[in-house]
Amino acid sequence: KQEVTQIPAALSVPEGENLVLNCSFTDSAIYNLQWFRQDPGKGLTSLLLIQSSQREQTSGRLNASLDKSSGRSTLYIAASQPGDSATYLCAVSGDNYGQNFVFGPGTRLSVLP
């Protein structure tokens, strides 16, 4: 059974810092990995999708990498801003139909002005 963990559980940084969020999964047979952002009381917003054949994806100040063999992904946020404060979740999709997402518990990020 696929299990996804995220480290750290919570992170507080001053504005402007570069930071890394970590995601680990136990079964490397995945179709893709997706990073989400969730603001308090809101739904999940997709940030980046990395296909299993890819090693990284970039969008603006965000860069996500994937190492399938070691079961790891990292989300790099450059020049953090207070507006980046949210919970970040990673999810992997299994290979039955390529559609069953398993989520990690999330990292709660606070960027202080």
Partner 1 sequence: DAGVIQSPRHEVTEMGQEVTLRCKPISGHNSLFWYRQTMMRGLELLIYFNNNVPIDDSGMPEDRFSAKMPNASFSTLKIQPSEPRDSAVYFCASSLALRGVTEAFFGQGTRLTVV
Q: Which residue ranges make up the site for partner 1 (CB under 8 A)? A: 31-32, 34, 36, 42-46, 49, 51-52, 89, 91, 93, 96-106
CA angle, 88 then 94 then 95, to 5°:
150
Question: How far apart, in whole angstroms, are the C-alpha atoms of residue 80 and residue 67?
Answer: 24
Question: How far apart, in whole angstroms, are the C-alpha atoms of residue 42 and residue 25?
Answer: 25
User: From the CB of 68, what's the least distance to partner 1, in Å?
Assistant: 13
User: From the CB of 99, what's the least distance to partner 1, in Å?
Assistant: 5
Question: How far apart, in whole angstroms, are the C-alpha atoms of residue 50 and residue 100?
Answer: 15
User: From the CB of 15, what's the least distance to partner 1, in Å?
Assistant: 28
Measured from the CB atom, the residue of 71 and 106 that comes closer to partner 1 is: 106
